[in-house]
Amino acid sequence: MNSEIDDFLAHEIDVGSFPGAVYAAGSSRGIDRQNALGHAVSVPFRVPATLDTIYDCASLTKPLITATLVLQAVAQGKVRLDDEFEGYSYRSLLTHTSGLAAWLPLYALGDYRRAILEKGPEYEAGTKVVYSDLNFILLHDALTAIYGDYAARAREKILRPLELEDAMFHPPAALRPRIAATEWGQRWEVGMCATRGIAFNGFRSGLIWGETHDGNSHHFGGTAGNAGLFATARAVFRIAHGWLTGKLLPREIVDEATRNYTSGMNENRGLGWLLSAPDHVATKMLSPRAYGHTGFTGTSVWIDPDSDRIMVLLTNRVHPCAAPVAMQSIRGQFHSLAGPA
């Protein structure tokens, strides 16, 4: 099956969907299929992708780190899901039903939390799902209030227990040759600000390579809870494996986090996780209990407990520009090929 996955991804590289890809698929017993194809950097010179390539995981940070830390706090009795932070329950923030807008360029609006509270509310909470970075930026603030340094807590309670050396925040400059580049400048967010009539003079103009692509996390120091994790495909697999096997959280918390809290709404959501749907091109081949997440840079992880499968696909589809790509369809085909043998 490796050859079928490789042929498929090589075709997508050839047609320009992304310059390179690294995948890792397996079960609770470990990885059984993995490979690297294409290039981690294609402009201004070429660097091949390898199994050791580190990707900007973008929003995979939300479930793998932020939601995990919040749920560990729940397991420890430090917070309850219906407790509120700045007027928003942890449950509503984790399920993206808080009423907050999908995105704001907080770096252009001054104090992040004040901007969220003043400009973020957009719809009646609990009436629909609006996937929002703002939810997880508030969760980052809540975790900072509970534990202090967010990244240090992630290292202590997630990365170090799993013995992960290839998953990190704020990657050092020495690792840059191993890191997949993303966009040339922040042109995507420049356009998003322009459509909102928001001016900002601090956009990056050169190649984004070795620093967080997401503007809100970058201008906050590297992570704001919505993005910032850098990792290899094998490291992402290991964190997902910690969820599947209950190593990171008690089994009852995992079960609670991966049930559907938004039945009847426009999207199936657990606590930090997107849940599979029979009419979704990326998940219709997975079981009803499957859960996963995607990242804007071209990353994804899906966990299917019924078939005992973990499927990780990391690409840098925004390199060198963030052009529209049918990534959900690509992910669905990858899941079909990377499922049980």
The 3-state secondary structure of 188-252 reads HHHHHHHHHCCCCCCCCCCECCCCCCCHHHHHCCCCCCCCCCEECHHHHHHHHHHHHCCCCCCHH
Per residue in 43-102, pLDDT tens? 999 999 999 999 999 999 999 999 999 999 999 999 999 999 999 999 999 999 999 999
Angle between helices 68-75 and 133-147 (to 10 degrees): 50
Query: Distance between CA atoms of 47 and 29, rounded to whole angstroms?
Result: 32
pLDDT over 60 (residue 149): yes
Those residues with Cβ within 8 angstroms of residue 157's Cβ, 6 or more apart along the chain or in another chain? 68, 69, 72
Strand partners, 294: 300
Could you state, in order of their start, the residue ranges of all structural domains in the chain? 2-60+171-338, 65-158
Residues paired with 291 in a beta bridge: 275, 303
DSSP state of 45: S
Residue showing tokens 């240090």: 152
The confidence score (pLDDT) of residue 1 equals 57
- Mean pLDDT of all residues belonging to the chain: 97
Task: Kindly state which CATH superfamily the domain 2-60+171-338 is placed in.
Answer: DD-peptidase/beta-lactamase superfamily (3.40.710.10)
pLDDT in tens, 91-135: 999 999 999 999 999 999 999 999 999 999 999 999 999 999 999
Closest CA to 189 of 213, 169, 210, 170: 213
Is the pLDDT confidence value at 190 over 70? yes
C-alpha 278/C-alpha 297 separation (Å) is 25
